[in-house]
Amino acid sequence: MGTVMFYHLRQSSVAEMLAVNAPRALAQGWRVMVRGTDPNALERLDTELWTVGGDESFLPHGLEAGPQDADQPVLLGRGQGANGARVLALVDGAEATDPELATMERVWILFDGGDDARVQAARLQWKEITAAGHQAQYWSDESGRWEKKAESAAR
């Protein structure tokens, strides 16, 4: 069982956070599934990921339902992920089951700090996930860089 990491996006966008963290996961040999709830938002994220970081950065990825889903290092979609992901990034209020949480090396829950409903939902998720015995961390970029603000131990 891995760690569930909550990312409170105050200054960074989802694409910016993924551009920093996904390459780290890939370097560990872990593929990433980015699960969202809105197909249009996932298409926008796909476009952003091609340009975030400028010419110095390239995050290999694709949208779900393409011919090479299983080969994608980072797959964006609404499903379970056909790419053998060991990291699950949940955006736009997407959720994961308890068995999914238990099988991943990392689960990233990204939520917009400017959206009160998303912040409240993340607080509820934190309570549920820690009550289920998963290790969790809370990260915020309010200072301009990512800082770990809280951590719970796995039971």
- pLDDT tens per residue, range 48-95: 998 886 666 678 899 998 888 999 999 999 988 789 999 999 999 999
Whether the CB-CB separation of 124 and 112 falls below 8 Å is answered with no
Give the mean pLDDT of the chain: 92
- Give all domains of the chain, ordered by start, each with its CATH number: 3-152 (3.40.50.10110)
Residue 150 host element (H or E):
strand 147-152
User: What is the separation of C-alpha 70 from the centre of its chain, rounded to a whole number of angstroms?
Assistant: 19
- What confidence tens digit (pLDDT) does each residue in 24-37 have? 999 999 999 999 99
Average pLDDT of span 133-147: 94
Average pLDDT of span 129-141: 95
Q: What is the pLDDT of residue 50?
A: 87
Q: What is the pLDDT of residue 53?
A: 64
**Residue position matching structure tokens 């990260």:** 139
For residue 154, name the pLDDT band (cuts at 50, 70, 90): low
Backbone angles phi, psi at 9, to 5 degrees: -80, 105
E-strand spans in 2-146?
3-9, 32-35, 62-63, 74-77, 87-90, 106-112, 135-140
pLDDT higher for 54 or 20?
20
* Adjacent-strand bridge partners of 109: 6, 90
For residue 109, name the pLDDT band (cuts at 50, 70, 90): very high
Residues 130, 73: Cα–Cα separation, whole Å: 29
Q: What is the pLDDT of residue 2?
A: 86
Q: What is the pLDDT of residue 52?
A: 81
Residues 112, 122: Cα–Cα separation, whole Å: 10
For residue 21, name the pLDDT band (cuts at 50, 70, 90): very high
